[in-house]
Amino acid sequence: MTWQTISGCADSPISQHHNGSSVDIKVSIIVPAYNAEATISAAIASLQAQTMRDWEAIVVDDASADATPEILHRISCADPRIRIVRNVANLGPAGSRNVGLCMAHGDWVALLDADDHFHDTRLATLLSLGQQADADMVADNLVQYHETDGSTRVLFDKSEFPTPRFISFQEFVESCYFGEGTPQRSGYVFMHPVVRRAFLERHQLSYEPLARNGEDFLFYLDCLAVGARWLVTPEAMYSYRVRERSMTDVVRNHDRAAMIRKLRELIQRPGIAENAPLADALERHMRLVAYTHYSYAVKHAVTKGQVGNLVIAMSIHPSAATPALRELRRRVPDICRRAVRRVAAAQLKPGRRLR
């Protein structure tokens, strides 16, 4: 087993809260936490402030090395709705979310990152909208809080969708396009929907366990590919903390490769291949990810002097080599100067004969 359940206190009524039908759990909130001592208390406090009371929180401590376990112990002692799970080894955000999914009892499943927080009416509002519209997923707008300067930005202007509405698979994919002129952290992929647990179980859906970035994108693709009805509302009730060099910014080439595989598989899937506009949208996104993937591979190969890897990357995606080679050309004079200085320094070492 890769995790263990940690009871808050010996006299805590956690088992009484979960072992019978006396409590009808409407929603399970999964809170992955890794070295979150500075923010986890505020995140959980935003759950405790919810106007809807029949929820459970599953906090997955991802093998934290700071004071996160002690803080969680104190919080769970005081509130039996909060269960603590500790990963034996660090699983990353996707693996931790899957642990939470395995333990969820609620009719709906929500996600709260350990450095974010909910508005106090968020759960009640989203569940009500989901029930009324018979949706499988319901997401609200979000407020991005920039930690560096304290500024805030709402993800979508209300003019883009003034009232709640459903979004299509194609619309989701097209909102995730990126490139020059695209605002950072834009698109429906940054929303945090609540999802019906029965829907996830019926289709056996979970997060890509090895993904360290892009796990939400892959998960939402899987949901929409099996026909999820995704409702969005313009109300911004999720506060999302933007940190410099966060996990969202640090995309590994392993994760880009996983996105390419997923997009290629979806394009070929029956029902999608025949839908030309959707297949085209997926194809375009795959090309964008592939360009970034191979541009990084070329740059890495040039930096490390890996000629074989450079040839492979350029042969697969020739246009991806352009930015890296342009950068290399710019740096050639400086590289040559450093090489000359190293040679001169080596020649002048004591005891070395000049040639």
By percentage, how much of the chain surpasses pLDDT 90?
59
Tell me the C-alpha distance between 198 and 121, whole Å. Answer: 23
Q: Is residue 208 pLDDT above 80, yes or no?
A: yes
- pLDDT reported for residue 23: 65
Contact 289, 263 (CB under 8 A): yes
User: If you write DSSP's letter for every residue of 47-69 in order, what string do you get?
Assistant: HHT-S---EEEEEEE-S-SSSHH
Tell me the C-alpha distance between 6 and 249, whole Å. Answer: 32
- pLDDT reported for residue 337: 80
φ and ψ at residue 57, rounded to 5 degrees? -115, 135
- pLDDT reported for residue 160: 85
Q: Is residue 59 pLDDT above 60, yes or no?
A: yes
Tell me the C-alpha distance between 29 and 111, whole Å. Answer: 5
Tell me the C-alpha distance between 200 and 205, whole Å. Answer: 5
pTM of the model: 0.79
Instruction: Assign 247 a pLDDT band (cuts: 50, 70, 90).
Output: very low
Identity at 213, one-letter amino acid code: N
Structure token pair of residue 332: 């050639």
Q: Is residue 42 pLDDT above 50, yes or no?
A: yes
Residue 30, helix vs strand vs coil? strand
φ and ψ at residue 6, rounded to 5 degrees? -115, 115
Task: Note the pLDDT tens digit of each residue in 260-296.
Answer: 889 999 999 999 999 999 999 999 988 888 877 667 6
Query: Which domains does the chain show, CATH number per domain?
Result: 3-13+21-250 (3.90.550.10), 261-341 (no CATH)
